[in-house]
Amino acid sequence: MNHATTHASGASEAANASSQDWHAWAPDTVLETLRSRREGLAPAEAARRLTEAGPNELPAPPRVHPMLRLLDQFNNALILFLLAAAAMAALLDHWIDAAVIVGVVLVNAIVGFVQEGRAEQALDALRGMLAPNARVLRDGRRETVPVADLVPGDVVLLEAGDRVPADLRLLRARGLLVDEAILTGESVTSSKQEDAVATSAALGDRSSMAYSGTLVAAGQGSAVVVATGRHTEIGHISRLLGEVRSLATPLLRQINGFGRWFTLFSAVLAALLFLFVVFVRDHHWVDALMVVVAIAVSIVPEGLPAVITITLAIGVQRMAGRQAIVRRLPAVETLGATTVICSDKTGTLTRNEMTARRVVTDTACVMVNGAGYEPVGTLDLPEGCATLPLNARSLIETALLCNDAHLLQAPEGGWRVDGDPMEGALVALAMKAGLQPATQRAVHPRADEIPFDAQHRFMATLHDRAEGGADLLVKGAPERLLAMSRAQLDAQGTEQALDEAHWQQAIAEAAAAGERVLGFARRRLNPVPARLAFSDADELVFLGVVGFIDPPRTEAMAAVADCRSAGIAVKMITGDHAATAAAIARQLDLAVQPVVVTGQELDAASASDLRTLALNAHVFARTNPEHKLRVVRALQSEGHVVAMTGDGVNDAPSLKQANVGIAMGHKGTDAAREAAQIVLADDNFASIVAAVSEGRTVYDNIRKVIAWTLPTNGGEVLAIIAALAFGLTLPMTPTQILWINMILTITLGLVLAFEPAEPGVMQRRPRSPDAALLSPFMVWRVVLVSLLFTAGAFGIFGWATVRGFGVELARTMVVNTLCVMEIFYLFNVRYLHMRSFTWRGARGTPAVLWAVVGVVLAQMAFTYTPWMQAVFDTRAVPLLDGLVILAIGVLSMVVLEVEKALLRRWQVFPELNPTARDTGPTTLKGTAQ
């Protein structure tokens, strides 16, 4: 019976409640106290402890109460100014004006509140998608469980790049280095081991412990959970891990700053106007105040930051739908400006579904049949051989033992790998050759190991032999292993001199076919070292190589083509062999003749050569994480905006350096995910390109929101100022201005955030990262449209006067004209880069159509219902005049479309010509595509 289940009651409570000196106890004593075993808890016991101890989480920071969030909406200079004006109006018995102002304020606050809530929800959902996992042993089986499900007594497996998921007592450590800066402030990594340390050891000296939230920088290990959740050391100091994400992006800050400047400007303008109206035009100061308040309200785009936040949040949601999870909001903007994507090969451009295809030994090449991980298939024995040659057999045994992967039969059928896909393929190979993994691993237990690491590119394991001595088994990059070998094994199992030329040719042949090549070697060690050292992996006997196929992802090919048309260069950065990488690059159509640069060549290059190499190469092969960093910097120094993928612990610096760091959701380490701005849920290159397209759309939509909002405000203000300046009758009353602003903010102003991508969004060149938000074209547009609106307002006012209408009806017509022009202008703005007069353009999105219906209904009520007529002093507009208003709207649309066509024809503004870079920096140098 399971020891852990019988006596476990209270073990997790005991662990979490006590402040045991776990670090000073021997591992087995710790296990016994926690009623656990080296094979881990039984699943049922883990579930029981979870209900007892609760989830392994730190308490979430208290949420701001919704009421407070709503009140926060009023914490804004403009809103306070409006409220003061409302109070003043009420004191002076202008009840209707006071009520309308309060209405505007409330609507604004509610819209802001709802939008912020939606943006928060979008980010919360992402947080859920990024919930971390931990690898545990449960009854001896490796399992991946959510970190929140860990309980005291669980046995956790650690490897480089992992964020330590709970407070752990180490049971076994191999080259384990942990970065504990988060806890101790110490930036040097501390080396860990399983031996007990003195009871008095300070936190930073407890080398037998790994604390929740610290980061495994190198090595491997296993450990037992001693404390979870708020009982951990990090829980005691109750500092929440992970950065606190804010909604503020550089763009949003820029707009907020712009908003503040605008508020100040409008306050000064309003004060001057007030003085002018009172002293020059002799109006009563109360009336003048109302006009000034109305102007201030209409001039300030108070809804803009909220609309932009929601545009970003919608972009984030759309990206999540396309498998790109945004961790830091600014990435949404930067993605749209990306000029180079540097991508890993394995798993991102290829499927990372490895199958061993050939085994090459000194004289034979054994082809392997079968597909995927299913261990079914045969080995084509060399001619004249009844059984596998001895060296091939020895190679396959090495492949199985120097290996951490397990093949599992999936419940839904088929086989899957627990561990590294290439190692999984080796287990399948061994099974095809008739070896039983469980038996082999039991007969030849592992005594020690040097884990794989992208820096030294090999892995070694040590296995004791019954007759004395031990076998050192090594697998890794073949050139690396050849350099470490002194001999090779022949078919009869005798050592021969190393034939480098033969192996180089075998590697070249397999690599040219796009195969990933791995070398194998072994060595007898006698005496047996207590601990494996790098120096032991020398003087090896080379056994041969295995070639794996890892087909390119079909969707990656289409995505590479998309990048080409979007003016984005794609570069492959891989740890793999140059010839393999070049073959895959050709299959992906990265280039007809891919230019390949190796890590060695990068090392030898001078700073200026490095820049040329970085620009011209399509493939960087046999690179290590440092090379990635150098390539990113070189490309950035040439003005490029670089998106870079990475998955290893050592990739963190280059992910941080890149303009957009992208980590892999599946094969990435916690370290890479935390350094990245974006995590790909499916590890797929095509998802990066989809995210770029979404990024471009978000930026377009933000510009559309601005391009639509500013002239709306500008038109109203110009009309009022002109009327005041020339002593004309005001074309609208202050309450009517407030009405227009309110109704448009909650309808049309919002819909642009939901706009889908314009067709051809990926046929444009990337936008320049430092191009101003308000491009010259947009400034021109704001001025032109403001003037058009003013002309429309005065035009219809004049028409009404000619028709002999009273001023009330004339004003009603002006308000309606402005709203109709806004609607038509909205359709125009939806396509900044192309004609809007298309069926697709006219049909709009459901959001656009609902908004239009909303505005039309509101205007109908405003014009025709008696109580609104009483509040706003409006009159029913006759049908004929209604048609004239509509005609003005159509006319304004025609004018703007003709303008867009002419500007495009004359190429006045580069951004209107889709093939030209928006407003690119002139220094940007081209890169190989």
Residue 899 in tokens: 């303008």
Closest CB to ligand ATP among 214 and 574? 574
Stretch that binds ligand ATP, among 36-44, 266-274, 343-351, 486-494 (CB under 6 A): 343-351
Residue 367 phi/psi, 5° resolution? -90, 145
Rounded to the nearest 10 degrees, how much is the dihedral formed by the CA atoms of 321, 327, 328, 331?
Answer: -50
The reply on whether position 520 binds ligand ATP by CB under 6 A is: no
Residue found under tokens 């995927």: 372
| Closest to ligand ATP by CB, 348 or 816 | 348
Applying CB under 6 A, which of residues 441, 457, 656, 765 lies at the interface with ligand ATP? Answer: 457
Q: Does 230 bind ligand ATP (CB under 6 A)?
A: no
CA distance 850 to 856: 10
Buried b (16+ CB within 10 A) or exposed e, 668-703: bbbbbbbbbbbbbbbbbbbbbbbbbbbbbbbbbbbb
| 170 or 477: CB nearest ligand ATP | 477
Least separation in angstroms between CB 220 and ligand ATP: 12
Q: How far is the CB of 576 from ligand ATP (least distance, A)?
A: 4
* Alpha-carbon span 69 to 114, nearest angstrom: 10
Does residue number 452 form part of the binding site for ligand ATP (CB under 6 A)?
Answer: yes
Part of the chain binding ligand ATP (CB under 6 A), chosen from 189-197, 450-458, 730-738, 766-774: 450-458
Q: Which is nearer to ligand ATP, 153 or 575 (CB)?
A: 575
- Residue 679 CB, nearest distance to ligand ATP (Å)? 16
Tokens 């990306």 locate to 338
- AA identity, residue 797: F
Token pair of 793, please? 């307002």
Q: What is residue 661's three-state secondary structure?
A: strand
**Counting contacts by CB under 6 A, is residue 522 touching ligand ATP?**
no
Q: Does 156 bind ligand ATP (CB under 6 A)?
A: no
| Residue in 167, 179, 344, 562 annotated catalytic | 344
For residue 729, give the 3-state DSSP assignment.
coil
- The helices-and-strands tally (H runs, E runs) of the chain is 34, 27
> Please, what is the minimum distance in Å from the beta carbon of residue 454 to ligand ATP?
4
Q: Is 574 in the site for ligand ATP (CB under 6 A)?
A: yes
Whether 344 sits among the annotated catalytic residues: the reply is: yes
Q: Which is nearer to ligand ATP, 159 or 180 (CB)?
A: 159
| Interacting residues of 709 by C-beta distance below 8 A, sequence separation 6+ | 301, 303, 304, 307, 749
Nearer to ligand ATP by Cβ, of 112 and 421: the residue is 421
CB of 344 to ligand ATP, least distance (A): 4
Element (H, E) at 183: helix 181-184
Q: Cβ 423 to ligand ATP, closest distance in Å?
A: 6
Most distant CA pair in the chain, distance: 116
Show the site string, 400-439: x = touches ligand ATP by CB under 6 A, - = not: --------------------x-xx----------------
Asked if the bond preceding 527 is cis, omega within 30° of 0, the reply is yes
Residue 479 found at the interface with ligand ATP (CB under 6 A): no
Would you call 436 helix, strand, or coil by DSSP?
Answer: coil
The smaller minimum CB distance to ligand ATP, of residues 661 and 920, is found at 661
Q: Which stretch binds ligand ATP (CB under 6 A): 134-142, 473-481, 507-515, 700-708?
A: 473-481
CA distances from 785 to 702, 709, 748, 774, 826 (A): 18, 11, 16, 15, 12
Residue of 458, 503, 797, 824 that binds ligand ATP (CB under 6 A): 458
Query: Is 353 an interacting residue with respect to ligand ATP (CB under 6 A)?
Result: no
Judged by CB under 6 A, does residue 576 bind ligand ATP?
yes
Q: Of all residues in this chain, which one has the CB nearest to ligand ATP in the complex?
A: 575
Q: In the structure encoding, which two tokens stand for residue 788, read together?
A: 């058009």
User: Terminal CA-to-CA distance of the chain, rounded, Å?
Assistant: 64
Question: Which residue among 345, 444, 571, 627 contacts ligand ATP (CB under 6 A)?
Answer: 345
Strand-pair partners of 225: 168
- Comparison of 422 and 568: residue with beta carbon closer to ligand ATP: 422
Taking CA atoms, 664 is separated from 348, 351, 561, in Å, by 8, 13, 22
Within a 13 Å sphere around the CA of 336, how many CA atoms are in the beta-carbon half?
A: 26
Q: What is the per-residue binding string for ligand ATP in 842-881, x denoting contact by CB under 6 A?
A: ----------------------------------------
585 touches ligand ATP by CB under 6 A: no
Distance CA 305, CA 249 (A): 11
- For the CB of residue 624, give the shortest distance to ligand ATP in the complex, in Å: 7
Nearest to ligand ATP of 72, 479 (CB atom): 479
d(CA 449, CA 438): 19
DSSP state at residue 279: I
Question: CB of 902: closest distance to ligand ATP in angstroms?
Answer: 50
CB nearer ligand ATP, residue 229 or residue 421: 421
Per the listing, tokens 């970190």 go with 147
By beta-carbon proximity to ligand ATP, the closer residue of 576 and 918 is 576
Q: Taken in order 665, 668, 674, 676, is the CA torsion positive or negative? A: negative
Q: Which is nearer to ligand ATP, 190 or 624 (CB)?
A: 624
Residue 475 sits in the site that holds ligand ATP (CB under 6 A): yes
618 binds ligand ATP (CB under 6 A): no
**13-21, 204-212, 451-459, 709-717 -> range binding ligand ATP (CB under 6 A):** 451-459
Q: x/- contact string, 525-564, with ligand ATP (CB under 6 A)? A: ----------------------------------------
The interface region with ligand ATP, picked from 489-497, 570-578, 682-690, 781-789 by CB under 6 A, is 570-578
822 touches ligand ATP (CB under 6 A): no
Can you tell me which of 477, 511, 664, 751 binds ligand ATP, judged by CB under 6 A? 477
782 lines the binding site for ligand ATP (CB under 6 A): no
Residue 352 C-beta: closest distance to ligand ATP, Å:
8
Report the C-alpha gap between 312 and 309 in whole angstroms. Answer: 5
Residue whose pair of structure tokens reads 């070697």 in the numeric block? 521
310 binds ligand ATP (CB under 6 A): no
Q: Up-side HSE of residue 397: CA atoms within 13 Å toward CB?
A: 19
Window of 373-381, 452-460, 542-550, 651-659 that interacts with ligand ATP by CB under 6 A: 452-460
Looking from the CA of 73 toward its CB, the CA atoms found within 13 Å total: 22
CB 304 within 8 A of CB 705: yes
Q: Which two tokens stand for residue 813?
A: 């017509």
Number of residues that bind ligand ATP (CB under 6 A): 18
> What one-character-per-residue DSSP string does 391-457 give?
HHHHHHHHHHHS---EEEE-TTSSEEEES-HHHHHHHHHHHHTT--HHHHHHHS-EEEEE---TTT-
Q: How many CA atoms lie within 13 A of 694 on its CB side?
A: 26
**71 or 533: whose CB is closer to ligand ATP?**
533
Judged by the rule CB under 6 A, the positions of this chain that interact with ligand ATP are 344-346, 420, 422-423, 452, 454, 457-459, 475-477, 518, 574-576
Which active-site residues does the annotation give? 344
